[in-house]
Amino acid sequence: MYFESRTQAGQILAEQLFERYRYENCVVVALSDGAVQVGEQIAGALHCLLTLLLIEDIQIPGESLSFGGVSQSGGFTYNGSFSSGEIDEYTSEFHGYLEEQKREAFQRINRLLGDGGVIDHDMLRDHVVILVADGVDNNAAMDVAIDFLKPIRIQRLVVATPVASIPAVDKLHMLADELHILDVKENYMGTNHYYEVNDIPSHEDTIAKINQIVLNWR
């Protein structure tokens, strides 16, 4: 399945979620700037809060692989698809580089935190949390999000994404209470591949949009 845009995909997901969650206490938590475009449609349909969990991906040098991610709490979560042996091997080989990347990632997050539009624990407590991605391949961002949510008492964890890989879906079944995935790919080609329009805004523009949505609803 291919989508005209992230907005269109979000509208389809919103229709699936509307009947069950329109009158529940929900928060839509987007995992990237592209995910905000999807999540905006869901939050609008459910008339609930939309927020962004700031995550910075840490890549293994020379490979198109995510080693893990840093969340706005400062915690680092390893990519759950790696074995402990692989983690030890990469850590040993690239220790200095990876530590520097973590520090730089947290600095980038801190520069954005003062602008609003991002998540805190209180807004999630005792709510249904709808984690939204624009595509899930290796689960790295999901792993970071799950770690971020662990200390927070929530009612239910729902994952919504237009497209995901088979390994990602297999793992999400173990992590979430409910999944809404429009298409599952055996050979995942990269998230942008599944959208005709890839007009993803910057972090700054995304946060400004979230703040404006909240002001309009008030």
The torsion angles phi and psi of 209, rounded to 5 degrees, stand at -65, -45
Mean pLDDT across 101-117 = 71
Domain locations along the chain: 6-56+114-217
SS3 44: helix
Contact (CB, 8 A) for 4 and 195 = yes
User: Residue written as tokens 């999630």?
Assistant: 124
| CA distance linking residue 177 with residue 106, whole number of Å | 30
Residue 217 CB neighbours (<10 A): 12
**pTM score of the predicted model:** 0.83
**pLDDT tens digits, residue range 52-81?**
888 888 888 888 788 888 887 778 888 878
Over the stretch 31-53, which tens digit does the pLDDT of each residue have? 989 999 999 999 999 999 898 88
Provide the residue type at 31 as one letter.
L
Architecture per CATH, 6-56+114-217 = 3-Layer(aba) Sandwich (3.40)
- Average of per-residue pLDDT across 101-118: 71
pLDDT score recorded for residue 218? 44
**For residue 195, what is the DSSP state?**
B
Express each pLDDT in 183-212 by its tens digit: 999 999 999 999 999 999 887 888 877 777
Helices 166-175 and 140-149: crossing angle in degrees, nearest 10, is 10
Condensed to tens digits (0 to 9), the pLDDT of residues 121-178 reads 888 999 999 999 999 987 778 888 888 899 999 999 999 999 999 999 999 999 999 9
Report the C-alpha gap between 128 and 158 in whole angstroms. Answer: 7
